[in-house]
Amino acid sequence: MATTTTLAKADEGTATATHAARIEHVSKSYPGPTGQQLVLDDISLDVAPGEFVTLLGASGCGKSTLLNLVAGLDRPSAGAITTDGRPALMFQEHALFPWLTAGKNIELALKLRGVPKSERRDKAEELLELVRLKGAHGKRVHELSGGMRQRVAMARALAQESKLLLMDEPFAALDAITRDVLHDELTRIWRETRLSVLFVTHNVREAVRLAERVVLLSSRPGRVAREWTVGIPQPRRIEDAQVAELSVEITEELRGEIRRHGQH
């Protein structure tokens, strides 16, 4: 269980920080063909330490844009975002570097964080064990299956020892069986590491399956439409009756949001 001890360090800061991420009145616009195009409009959202929040929305709601802003890859046009340290980010594509082996990908993250060379190999092995890929250290990225790649990507993100993990539809490109398994894995790892997670998806059931809180964004521009607290105890299953019930309710709301766009 060495993995939990190394990763538990993330907890030390949470005693003082009251938010893993704080998004305050954030707007973002891009220059478009008809002047400035407003993508995000006055979004306010807090992620508490150790909380799992999903951002849910149809296309055009700017959920990926918001995630990029939180990751610091882009700047908001208005408002402020504060995070407790630099967040880690996982993409829909695994974004592993194909010129490195699975293990070396993780070691690069450790190196860039300043972990001494002598410790990197062991830490990488620990992280691979955490995502149940023991023995995959020397594997090339193209030798791994889609699910394995996302697990290595998860291990690489965890190597940053950030307090906040941002996930941009990380399982959208996987087949249903693999996705289910990775949901279980993510829940397990989230509970073991007590990370805060901000997870973007357009899949309602996935949002309900994973999150403690589901935030629905409206589209064009993206605004916080509604929030749900998911009280169903973890671990859940995507086919659980309670998950299905809440999903139906959220889907209705989401469809209502989408319908508004067809009316004018």
3-state secondary structure of 251: helix
219 touches another protein (CB under 8 A): no
For residue 30, state whether it binds another protein (rule: CB under 8 A).
no
Backbone angles phi, psi at 213, to 5 degrees: -145, 130
Q: Could you tell me the end-to-end alpha-carbon distance of the chain, in angstroms, rounded to an integer? A: 57
Nearest-10 Cα torsion for 195, 198, 202, 205? 40
Does 179 bind another protein (CB under 8 A)? Our answer is no
**Binding segment (CB under 8 A) for another protein, from list 10-18, 129-137, 201-209, 250-258:** 129-137
Nearest Cα neighbor of 144 from 100, 84, 190 is: 100
Q: In this structure, what token pair is assigned to residue 28?
A: 């973002």
Type of residue found at 171 = F
Residue 185 sits in the site that holds another protein (CB under 8 A): yes
Angle at 84 between CA 96 and CA 93, to 5 degrees: 20
Q: Which of 113, 255, 260, 261 binds another protein (CB under 8 A)?
A: 113
- Identity of the residue, 149 or 223, whose beta carbon is nearer to another protein in the bound complex: 149
Hey, what's the torsion of the CAs at 137, 140, 146, 147, to 10 degrees?
0
Q: Hey, what are 5's tokens?
A: 């001890």
Put residue 135 in one of left, alpha, beta given phi > 0 → left and psi -120 to 50 → alpha. Answer: left
For residue 241, report the phi and psi dihedrals to the nearest 5 degrees: -60, -40
32 touches another protein (CB under 8 A): no
Question: Which residues lie below 8 Å from residue 110, measured CB to CB, with a gap of 6+?
Answer: 119, 120, 123, 124, 159
CB of 132 to another protein, least distance (A): 6
Please identify, among the stretches 15-23, 95-103, 120-128, 193-201, the one whose residues bind another protein according to the rule CB under 8 A.
95-103
Applying CB under 8 A, the span of 10-18, 184-192, 195-203, 208-216 interacting with another protein comes to: 184-192
Q: Which of 173, 184, 203, 226 binds another protein (CB under 8 A)?
A: 184
Q: Between residue 136 and residue 175, which ones bind another protein under the rule CB under 8 A?
A: 140-148, 156, 160
36 touching another protein, by CB under 8 A? no
Task: Fill in the per-residue mask, 221 to 260: x = in contact with another protein (CB under 8 A), - = not in contact.
Answer: --------------x-x-----------------------
Complete DSSP assignment for 88-110: EEE-SS----TTSBHHHHHHHHH
Cβ closest to another protein, residue 42 vs residue 74: 74
Using rule CB under 8 A, residue 11 touches another protein: no
Instruction: Kindly state whether residue 8 participates in binding another protein, applying the rule CB under 8 A.
Output: no
Closer to another protein at the Cβ: 51 or 161?
161
Positions that interact with another protein (CB under 8 A)? 1, 4, 71-73, 86-89, 91, 93, 95, 97-100, 108-109, 112-113, 129, 132-133, 140-148, 156, 160, 177-178, 181, 184-185, 187-188, 192, 235, 237
